[in-house]
Amino acid sequence: MNNTITDTQFNFPGQKSVYKGKVREVYTLENDILVMIATDRLSAFDVVMPKGIPYKGQILNQIATTMMKATEDLVPNWLMATPDPNVAVGVACEPFKVEMVIRGYLTGHAAREYKAGKRFLCGVPMPHGMKEHDKFPHPIITPATKAEHGDHDEDISKEDIIARGIVSEDDYLVLEDYTQKLFQRGTEIASERGLILVDTKYEFGKTKEGKIVLIDEIHTPDSSRYFYSEGYEERQQNGEPQRQLSKEFVRQWLIQNNFQGLEGQTVPFMSDEYVESVSERYIELYEHITDSKFVKADVSNIIERIEKNVLNYLKSV
C-alpha cells in the first residue's frame, strides 16, 4: 500500500548510519544531525504488526512535536524542525540507557505487580489499601532499562541505576527533575482537554557538549496512557473499568484473538476494515490530546514526499 509507510531506504547527504526501531527510523547525518521518521508501523507486546496503519506516523510525530514545543520552557529538547508531517529533525545525542517511567495512578504494570502482592516497584513504595486505577498520593518514578534487540524492558531502581554506572548520580538527579516537571505540565495540558495523564515515559540523551535534553516521543498514545476525566470518580467508586485513551484497544483486540506476543502464538489476521478502524481511532486520539482537528497529509506517494521535504530542509541547514 503506497498510502502507508512501513519501511524506508533513504540515503540522505552526509548520512552516516541508520537505526530502525519498532516504529521510528533514525538517520544519523554529519554535523550531529538526526532525521527521525515516524513510520505507520504498529507495535504491541513488543511485536510489529504485519500491516501499517494509515496516518499513524503523522499522528505520533505531530503530537510529539506539539508537546515538545509546549514543554521547551521547562526542559530542553533535541528538536530543530519538522520538515514533513512524518519527520522530526534534531540534534544527535547519546541516549541514556534508561526510560524514565512516571505513574500518577495504580494502573497497568503497577496494578499487576500490586495484585501479585508487591508493595514496592523499582524500589519505590506503593501505599497499602489501594485498588486498580486509584491515584497515588504523589506521582512515582519507576525506571526501566531500555531493551536491546526487541527484548522486554526491565524494571530497575534508582539505586541500581547509579550503583551499576548506567547513569551517574548527578545526571540521574537531572533526569528525575525533568521527568517530574514534564509530567506536571503534561497533567495540566491533559486536564484542559478533559483528560487525565495516567502514566507515561520519557527518554533523554546528552549532546556532545554535555547538555541533557529530552528526545524521542512525548505524551503520545503509544508512550502514555490517558483516562477521560468525566466519570472517573464515579467509575472508581462503582468498581467499573476506566475509559482509556491509549493504544490499549489494540492490545485488547489481540488478547481477544489469542495473541500476547508469547512463543508459538501467531499474530491474528488484520482485515482492511480493522486497519481502517485503528486509523480512525488514532485520529480520535490525536484530536482529543491536541484539542485540534487532524489534517490528513497527502499520502499519494509518501516516500517521495518525505524525501523531497527532508532534502529541501537539509539544503537550508
**Helix or strand holding residue 302 (H, E):** helix 302-316
Point out which residues pair with 200 in neighbouring strands: 102, 224
Residue 3's pLDDT band (boundaries 50, 70, 90)?
confident
Average pLDDT over residues 250-267: 90
Range ranked top by mean pLDDT from 191-195, 241-245, 257-261: 191-195
Residue bearing cell 557538549: 209
Average pLDDT over residues 59-76: 96
Residue 246's pLDDT band (boundaries 50, 70, 90)?
confident
Continuous H helices in 42-199:
56-71, 109-115, 158-163, 169-192
Average pLDDT over residues 21-39: 94
Domain with CATH 3.30.470.20 in the chain: 95-245
Q: What is the mean pLDDT of the chain?
A: 94
CATH topology of domain 95-245: D-amino Acid Aminotransferase; Chain A, domain 1 (3.30.470)
Residue 121 grid coordinates: 516497584
CATH of 15-93+248-316, one of 3.30.420.40, 3.30.200.20, 3.30.450.20, 3.30.70.940: 3.30.200.20
Q: For a pLDDT cut of 90, what percent of the chain falls above it?
A: 86
Residue 249's pLDDT band (boundaries 50, 70, 90)?
confident
Residue bearing cell 526510560: 99
Q: Per-residue pLDDT tens for 186-203? A: 999 999 999 999 999 999
Q: Per-residue pLDDT tens for 90-110? A: 999 999 999 999 999 999 899
**Cβ burial, residue 272 (10 Å; 0-12/13-18/19+):** exposed
pLDDT(1) > 50: no
**Helix or strand holding residue 25 (H, E):** strand 24-29
Average pLDDT over residues 264-293: 93
Domain with CATH 3.30.200.20 in the chain: 15-93+248-316
pLDDT(88) > 90: yes
pLDDT at 2: 53
pLDDT(152) > 90: no
User: Is 196 within 8 Å of 227 (Cβ atoms)?
Assistant: yes
Residue 196 grid coordinates: 487525565
pLDDT at 151: 54
Comparing 14-18, 89-93, 199-203, 246-250, the range with the smallest average pLDDT is 246-250
* Three-class DSSP category at 289: helix
Amino acid identity, position 149: H
User: Is 213 within 8 Å of 78 (Cβ atoms)?
Assistant: yes
123: left (phi over 0), alpha (psi -120 to 50) or beta: left
Residue bearing cell 500518577: 104
Average pLDDT over residues 272-299: 94
pLDDT at 252: 87
Helix-helix angle 272-290:56-71, to 10 degrees: 10
Average pLDDT over residues 172-180: 98
Sequential DSSP letters for 250-283:
HHHHHHHTT-SS-TT--PPP--HHHHHHHHHHHH
| Cβ partners under 8 Å of residue 239, min gap 6 | 131
Sign of CA dihedral 134, 189, 97, 247: positive
